[in-house]
Structure 1
Amino acid sequence: MKRLFSTDVVFLHAPSVYDFRRDTIFFGPISDVVPSSPAFEMYPMGITSLAETLEKNGYNVRIVNLAYLMLRDPDFDPEKLIARLKPRLFAIDLHWLPHAHGSLEVAQLCKKYHPDIPVAFGGLSSSYYHEELISYPYVDFVLRGDSTEEPMRQLVSSLRQGQADFSSIPNLTWKKPDGQPVVNPLTWIPDNLDYTTIPSYRYVMGSVFKYGSLHNTMPYLDWLSYPITALLTARGCTQNCSICGGSRSAYARICGRQKPAYRSPKALVEDIRFIKSFGKAPIFILHDIRQAGMDYAREFFGLLKKERIPNELIIELFFPADEEYFRLISESVPRFSLELTIETHEEHLRRLNGKFKCSNAAVEATIAAALKYNCRKIDLFFMTGIPGQTYQSALASIDYCRQLLEKFNGDKRLSLFIAPLAPFLDPGSPAFENPEKYGYIKHCQTLEDHRQALTRPSWKHILSYETTTMSRDEIVEATYEAAYRLNELKREYNLIPEEVYEDIRYRITQARQIIAEIDRILLIPDEEVRQLSLQKLKARVAELNRHTICGKDELKWPLRRRFAGLWSLGKLLTMLFLEEVKRVGLRLRGNYDQHPLEMG
């Protein structure tokens, strides 16, 4: 009876660097163009799908976002919380490599207080480094691949039954009792995503009710004030961008996936219908819908038109689009915005990199078509540190931004950004696997290399690479100079308020000074004096560790409403309560594992 209500699995999301509140580390702009902070408190959405699958099969599953809790409360002690938890299994994500330090530190804490409770890792980075990861004494399992819902269910089922032989579980790397590692075949590779929901907002909402904690599952620090949601349309990609760990060749290498697995248009619209029941903020549709073909896109938007959703959609583009596409979107949703990452204005570099392999004229025609069909906002991203880029080329991207503003008469719907490829070159990406071809010089190769790099005192020294055309110093300076010039350009065209302009100008100036001061401190031979000198910078570093190169609200889309009304929320919570009552009944009867997944 006690086990009936106890927790079977606890998913722990660690900060990028476990000691980020104590150590002086200037992360700079590495998270300025994503919703989360440099602690990268946003956990991978696949965790919710894993949790939902386990809950459907009778298990009690909690997600605990340690990174969020540590950011929210300076006095929160993650070690005390971990000591109190007693699940069958701790599951820690290492999806994005910037978590290489925090995730391993959290794993050590789990073993410190619970030496007999196994620890599992999962995610793309875990999959890439699974053999190195399993060699750590505090890691017992690594679930490999991009779709581990069923392998995870089988693992938890085996643990519940007290089994010690896990050789039949697909995608699993594990240890025998004598410590010998075993790598099971990577065979669980579903060819569609309709078997689950990604992410599972049903699980997230239900867990708030079930476990009585709103904050454990918060995706990022200010989500309650800006509750944007997202949906994953595919696992895998048709594109093969050189610096992307989620590229076509990376998925083949890491996950054994030869082609993308898509969520059907019908299932996506059902997901949107559920989101609509609790939230009215924008919904980000991850990946370019057209990857699956225009018939797929037409079906999706046709179904969406019938749904009459109030939410704005954020649409991602991987390649140019024409007027027909934007007409289709505008007829289906009340409002939409775009995300385009072209990385550089230089067409030959885009061809080398594999991103937006088209002419600038095609990029501009796409922007013009979107604006014609009343796109509310177009976020256009450039990058420093890409293959073949020089210092002058990086700065010339801002000249191209000026050309765009001139061409489109300073249209305020055009939002321009530039950010560095930081902190790491993605393992599994074409550039990581073939650095000479793309002009990269790698400073980190192993998981341990990356873990150690994250403890260095500035993002310049954390960078895992430089290129044959730019040193680390040049990448850092190109980032700040380009951002400085872009800030001036935005002010000239009245794209940002004066106070935002002044704030970013101040922050870039201060950031350059901090980089120089840290470089000088690192030359101090005495370790104790060096650490004391770094500690004196801590307050200034903390002030500048966010929103250095663009305003904190520049990436946000305007909100009309945040959440649904009380009636809709009440109906939703009642439904989730009844679902949980049904699951309790199944557990009382010992009916576990009634919903195994099948590939199809």
Structure 2
Amino acid sequence: MDADISLVHAPSIFDFRTRDIKLGPISDVIPSTPVFEMYPVGFISMLNSLISSGYNARICNVAAMMVSSASFDPVKYLKHVKSKIYGIDLHWLPHANGALKVAKIIKDLHPDSKVLLGGFSASYFADDIMTHYGYIDYILKGDLQETNIVKLAGAEDSYQALDRVPNLIYRKNNRIIHNKIEYSSIDDVFLNYGLLMKNAIKYHDIKGHLPYASWLDNTEAMTVIEHGCSFNCAFCGGSNFAYKNNYNSVAPLYRKPLVIAEEISLVGEMLGSPVFITGDMNNAGEKFYSSLFKELKDRKVSLPLLTEYFTPPGKEYLNELSHRFPDFTVEISPESSSEVIRNRNGRPYSNKGLEDFLQNAVTAGAKKIDVYFTIGMSGQTVNDVNADIDYSEKLMKKFSSAKEKLYTFISPLTPFIDPGSLIYEHPETYGFKITAKTITDYFNLLENGKIWTDFLNYYTNWMSVEQIARATYESEIRMIKMRQSLGLLKDVDADEIVKNITAYMHGDDYISNENKSSHLSYIEKDVEWSNKHKLTRDSFLISLYKDYNDFKKKL
């Protein structure tokens, strides 16, 4: 079946399966693999808007299919995807290579169709892209495009009709045209996983609609409580500073608790899976989270919830969360054990505040607690990184028990400092040197790099690229040995990981995942309890489909 719009997600590096590259730790603290095969959750919301408005639309996760199968031919697949418009996300900059290569492939295969880019990075580099990449027809600039993509789908192929599509950038008479800026309402956002499943069946393309490669093995849904942010973490391209200056004039924009509860309730009915709530519910205020908890209670939602926090919430909030939802996890990113470095980089809280939160989370019964540290921060030296590992050991010893597990993670700022962030715009102020500036610079870094440090677009006044790399390897090894000594990691697994990282560090052969997608440290970041699913019709069908695919692989 032909589509009006196909939403296509590319891998970060298009030829990752055939190139001799060592991607290392570039995604060690996110659910996706180093290929970044998880498509933006906005795909699901835009799919809902398009289909609800009467258009035929589909999702094509090319990256996930390339990760899952060495024999999958992306060119052959895209040749058979017929669409008037192909919308490709260039949201985070690691996709600069894959997104542009897939766009060129699509234009060569379907020259009469239009190629659209969207996302933060496409918006930031919009003029650069439209000037130098003639096979890109359109860019939708900024965030919240649910309404605008529907208007684009309805526009006839005429300049007059295109004039009426807000935020659209296109060419007319060899000129780059910027239409008026007008964002969709936050109320237009709806993450409809039920529609996602139905659409996958409609197009006979279940794999193309999967959010990430391992979704069948570890099904997890996501909801978003806000667009934009109230904080200014110096390195973040989604910070208040970056968002207001590039993607929307208002931030943060909070969604209605009733709508969020509807999404989560639908997940319970369709998938019965855990739900990751992105955004800090506590920071949204008591009125917000109390209303959300009540709406979920009224719908009798009892799913495991994975929650994140930008600053430590208090005991009262955690107790209310625990009372309503006994199966929950928490995660927080202090970035550094140094309060000075943490505050310098936009995380305004003390170690005492952090530790009080961790104790309150344990008392409230959090099933798992994740604490994240980062290498390459403004003001951070190698000695500071070593201190972070010491502090990590203290936290794991103090707050882990037989019932509750606290895990700490550490990884470098990789592969890029986000465009639009405070550090990217004011590198001297933060002691950074940014070594790439144009979209072609980033395309070439990803095209020519052989090891993850080749991709970095920065170094600091305190740490060179070489020091960042060595600190990363050594801290990973210390972290693994620490988990082993605390009984949080089996001896055989810990020894294998340490052996792997040591070989990687010295340029020797190491054991790579068969689909070249594994994280360097090979640590599972999802907790076993979150694999519990309520049995629903759809979760049963997902299980059957997974078993079928596993059987095919064995054959």
TM range (shorter): over 0.9
- Paired residue for 2:150? 153
The match for 1:481 among 467, 474, 479 is 474
Task: List structure 1 runs of 4+ shifted beyond 4 angstroms.
Answer: 161-165, 409-412, 537-545, 567-570
- Paired residue for 1:524? none
- Paired residue for 2:547? none
Runs of at least 5 residues in structure 2 that lack an aligned partner in the other structure = 542-555
- Letter of the 1:385 counterpart: G
Q: How does 1:36-47 map to 2 (within 5 A)?
A: 36-47=32-43
- Tell which deviates more after alignment, 404-413 or 496-505: 404-413
- Paired residue for 1:231? 223
Q: How does 1:71-470 map to 2 (within 5 A)?
A: 71-135=67-131, 136-159=133-156, 165-176=161-172, 178-188=173-183, 190=185, 193-197=186-190, 199-355=191-347, 357-408=348-399, 413-455=405-447, 456-470=449-463
Aligned equivalents of 2:108, 2:142: Cα separation in 1: 28
Deviation at 1:33, TM superposition (A): 1.8
Contact preservation (8 Å) 2:397, 2:486: no
Q: Which has the larger radius of gyration?
A: 1
1:560–1:142 CA distance, 2 compared to 1 (3 A): closer
Deviations 1:510-567 (A, max 9, x none): 11022xx7xxxxxxxxxxxxxxxxxxx798697886232352x243342453353339
Aligned equivalents of 1:543, 1:20: Cα separation in 2: 10
Task: Give the SS at the match of 1:237.
Answer: coil
Task: Give the SS at the match of 2:207.
Answer: coil
1:49 is the counterpart of 2:45: yes
Aligned equivalents of 2:189, 2:453: Cα separation in 1: 40
1:20 is the counterpart of 2:16: yes
- Letter of the 2:506 counterpart: Q
Deviation at 1:496, TM superposition (A): 1.3
The match for 1:549 among 510, 518, 521 is 521
Contact preservation (8 Å) 1:277, 1:569: no
Aligned equivalents of 1:344, 1:203: Cα separation in 2: 41
Deviation at 1:280, TM superposition (A): 2.5
Deviation at 1:81, TM superposition (A): 2.0
Deviations 1:489-512 (A, max 9, x none): 111111111122112111211110
Contact preservation (8 Å) 1:311, 1:334: no
1:562 is the counterpart of 2:555: no
Aligned equivalents of 2:531, 2:213: Cα separation in 1: 20
- Letter of the 2:431 counterpart: G
Contact preservation (8 Å) 1:353, 1:387: yes
- Letter of the 2:276 counterpart: F
Percent identity, aligned pairs only, is 33
1:30–1:158 CA distance, 2 compared to 1 (3 A): same
1:328–1:81 CA distance, 2 compared to 1 (3 A): same
Aligned equivalents of 1:52, 1:93: Cα separation in 2: 17
1:538–1:211 CA distance, 2 compared to 1 (3 A): farther
Deviations 1:156-211 (A, max 9, x none): 1113x6555522221111111x3311111222253xx22230x3313311212211
Aligned equivalents of 2:297, 2:323: Cα separation in 1: 7
TM-score after normalising by structure 2: 0.93
Count how many residue pairs are aligned between Structure 1 and Structure 2.
538
TM-score after normalising by structure 1: 0.86
Deviation at 1:395, TM superposition (A): 1.4
Deviation at 1:568, TM superposition (A): 8.9
- Paired residue for 1:493? 486
1:485–1:568 CA distance, 2 compared to 1 (3 A): closer
- Tell which deviates more after alignment, 113-122 or 419-428: 113-122
1:502 is the counterpart of 2:499: no
- Tell which deviates more after alignment, 224-233 or 286-295: 286-295
Deviations 1:406-463 (A, max 9, x none): 4336665111111111000000111111001111111111111111111210111111
CA RMSD of the aligned region, Å? 2.0
